[in-house]
Amino acid sequence: MTTSAATWSAGLTGAEALHAYAPAVDEMLRRLVRTLSADLDRVALVRWACASAQDLPPLPAPPTAAPLPDGVVGRAWSTLPDADRTVLRFAEQFSVDVSALGEQLRGELWAVLGEEPQQARGRLLAMSWVADLVPRVRTALDRLFAPSAPLEGTGTVETIGDATPLGREFVRRVFTLHELDPVVSEMVRLRVARAHDCRMCRSLRTRSALAAGATEQDFAAVDSYASSALSAAQKAALSLVDGMLWSPARIPDRVVDDVRAHYSPAEAVELVLDVMRNSWNKTTVAAQMDEAHVTEGVELYEYHDDGTLEFFPADPLVAPGR
């Protein structure tokens, strides 16, 4: 897992590293950025609000979207129509902390969209996930590697009615990357699950991590990893997760250095992509579709490269103190 400093001196930019180590995922990210599954002007609002909430450069607005009103960029939101204000407030909260979305704001958004939560999940909520996570991924990769050129508009748009299949295909492609240790990957997943308070994700444990030697005590340590007995490499990975989730524009140098010290470039790319993969749960949490299969304890799962999920009842492998 460890790598020499020379391995990191190839001079790749973040965008080049993504293409070099995860070309199929890079292709899907580009497709997601040019996809519209909601009103294009609202997508432009969401892209600005999500990035602005994190002090990150926003994704380019759809090429035919109207220019953002002055009241948006100047944050004079009280001057905007109620519908625009609702979309902006939702996108900002979605980015900052999806677990804190209130019932009133949810209700106002469903009314503005004229959609049920399940339909909205594949439309504006999916677009919010793209707007929120792609800038985080690009920024983290640029910190680990070298700065990339600004992302320009594609000039082409793919309009679809439901982006859920594309989101799931992105998840599948990231799951097919197998450079990262399965225990670390599962710890990353749990850290994201607990940050977003996804009930389903919190209740799951992957069989591959258990087979690799992880215990429930290890998974519990994820919550307070800095003071835990987890390895330096595991702590480095979780520190990068926290940086991407809570302060993506200000990931500390020590976090970058620790990741470079403990992971190869290919592993680091997968680590960054795991955060976006696991953050697909923001759409389910926002739509309140994250109910767990079990009411107590945990459930085991296996994700196959073809995108199918297989669930199993918990067994003695996950007993505390194993």
Q: Which neighbouring-strand residues pair with 300? A: 205, 312
Q: Would you put residue 122 in left (φ > 0), alpha (ψ -120 to 50) or beta?
A: alpha
Q: Please answer whether residues 222 and 194 qualify as being in contact, where contact means their C-beta atoms are separated by less than 8 angstroms.
A: yes
pLDDT at 5 over 80: no
* Residue that finishes a domain, picked among 134, 169, 204: 169
Supply 304's token pair: 């196959």
**Nearest-angstrom CA–CA distance, 198 and 160:** 27
CATH of the domain at 248: 1.20.1290.10
Q: Mark whether 39 and 94 lie in a shared domain.
A: yes
174 within domain boundaries: no
Residue 27 pLDDT class (50, 70, 90 cuts): very high
Percent of the chain scoring above 90 in pLDDT: 86
Residue 258's φ and ψ, nearest 5 degrees, are: -65, -40
At residue 68, the 3 state secondary structure works out as coil
Q: Please answer whether residues 179 and 266 qualify as being in contact, where contact means their C-beta atoms are separated by less than 8 angstroms.
A: yes
Count of residues in the chain: 322
Q: Mark whether 156 and 191 lie in a shared domain.
A: no
Q: Mark whether 133 and 47 lie in a shared domain.
A: yes
Q: Mark whether 27 and 122 lie in a shared domain.
A: yes
Ranges of beta strands (E only) in the chain are 35-36, 158-159, 204-206, 299-303, 309-313
217 within domain boundaries: yes
Q: Please answer whether residues 3 and 254 qualify as being in contact, where contact means their C-beta atoms are separated by less than 8 angstroms.
A: no
> Residue 225: what pLDDT?
97
Q: What is the dihedral of CA 13, 16, 257, 215, to 10 degrees?
A: 160
- Number of domains into which the chain is organized: 2
104 within domain boundaries: yes
Supply 69's token pair: 């009103």
What is the per-residue pLDDT across 203-251, written as a single tens digit (0 to 9) for each? Answer: 999 999 999 999 999 999 999 999 999 999 999 999 999 999 999 999 9
Domain that residue 60 falls in: 23-169
Closest-CA residue to 41 (of 67, 60, 70): 67
Q: Mark whether 128 and 198 lie in a shared domain.
A: no
Q: Mark whether 142 and 186 lie in a shared domain.
A: no
For 260, residues 6+ apart whose C-beta sits below 8 A from its C-beta are: 3, 5, 8, 144, 268
* Residue that finishes a domain, picked among 169, 197, 222: 169
17 within domain boundaries: no
Residue 160 pLDDT class (50, 70, 90 cuts): very high
158 within domain boundaries: yes
Q: Mark whether 276 and 139 lie in a shared domain.
A: no
- Tell how far CA 255 is from the center of its chain: 18
pLDDT at 1 over 60: no
> Residue 152: what pLDDT?
82
Q: Mark whether 28 and 165 lie in a shared domain.
A: yes
Least confident of 1-15, 51-65, 119-133: 1-15
What is the per-residue pLDDT across 178-212, written as a single tens digit (0 to 9) for each? Answer: 999 999 999 999 999 999 999 999 999 999 999 99
Q: What is the rounded average pLDDT for all residues in the chain? A: 93
Closest-CA residue to 192 (of 273, 294, 117, 300): 273
